[in-house]
């Protein structure tokens, strides 16, 4: 991708101020390869956070907190295992957090850099970010709602999530690489 050095300091419809993430219209999902032959998808239902839009959009910031126990892979036994000390250890580490450290232009889109903390370990990550625009929300007295899409890939081992089982024919039960997929909706705070 070509990185542009000039980007508008504002985006159409994205007013300065604090935008609150709407958990009911936000998806924090992930995809991981299972048994080397398929992909398992999951999501976290509990998410909250804010997007602080500055006059120069490139100096804006994001903070988000995810309830680690809200993991849902459509399999109650697997979800229980993921909540255990083998993976997220939710009793000791109840939240996953993200705090942005910078925003940069990347063509028509952006890269959001930040610190991701999982299981007490913090690592830098870069999310490829797309601003999807704004609309007045008829269910919120016409207040603006903004949409964003983002994705990245992380190594789960970087965050201490190392549990695995070797397969008889080679490979492992759970891949190391995790794709993170975000669809975020946020409303401008009063």
Is residue 47 pLDDT above 90, yes or no?
yes
Structural domain span for residue 96: 17-188
Instruction: Give the pLDDT band of residue 3 (cuts 50, 70, 90).
Output: very low
Instruction: Give the pLDDT band of residue 9 (cuts 50, 70, 90).
Output: low
Look at the chain and report how many structural domains it folds into: 1
- Give a yes or no: residue 78 inside a domain: yes
Q: Which residues pair with 110 in a beta bridge?
A: 105, 129
Q: Which residues pair with 100 in a beta bridge?
A: 114
- Give a yes or no: residue 10 inside a domain: no
- Give a yes or no: residue 3 inside a domain: no
Between CA 26 and CA 48 the distance in angstroms is 9
- Give a yes or no: residue 165 inside a domain: yes
Q: What is the pTM of this model?
A: 0.90
Which whole-number Å values give the CA distances from 92 to 26, 81, 117, 120, in the listed order? 25, 15, 13, 9
Segment 129-155 shows an average pLDDT of 93
């Amino acid at each position: 991708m070509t990185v542009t050095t000039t980007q508008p300091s504002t985006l159409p419809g994205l007013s300065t101020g604090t935008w609150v993430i709407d958990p009911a219209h936000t998806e924090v999902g992930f995809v991981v390869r299972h048994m080397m032959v398929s992909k398992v998808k999951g999501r976290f239902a509990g998410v909250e956070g804010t997007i602080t839009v500055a006059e120069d959009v490139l100096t804006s910031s994001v903070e988000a907190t995810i309830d680690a126990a809200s993991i849902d892979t459509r399999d109650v036994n697997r979800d229980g295992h993921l909540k255990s000390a083998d993976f997220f250890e939710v009793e000791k580490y109840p939240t996953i957090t993200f705090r942005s450290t910078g925003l940069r232009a990347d063509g028509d889109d952006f890269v959001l850099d930040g610190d991701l903390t999982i299981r007490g370990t913090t690592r830098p990550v870069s999310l490829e970010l797309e601003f999807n625009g704004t609309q007045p929300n008829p269910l919120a007295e016409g207040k603006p709602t903004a949409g964003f899409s983002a994705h990245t890939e992380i190594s789960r081992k970087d965050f201490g999530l190392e549990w695995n089982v070797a397969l008889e024919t080679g490979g492992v039960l759970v891949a190391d690489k995790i794709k993170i997929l975000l669809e975020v909706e946020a409303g401008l705070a009063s």
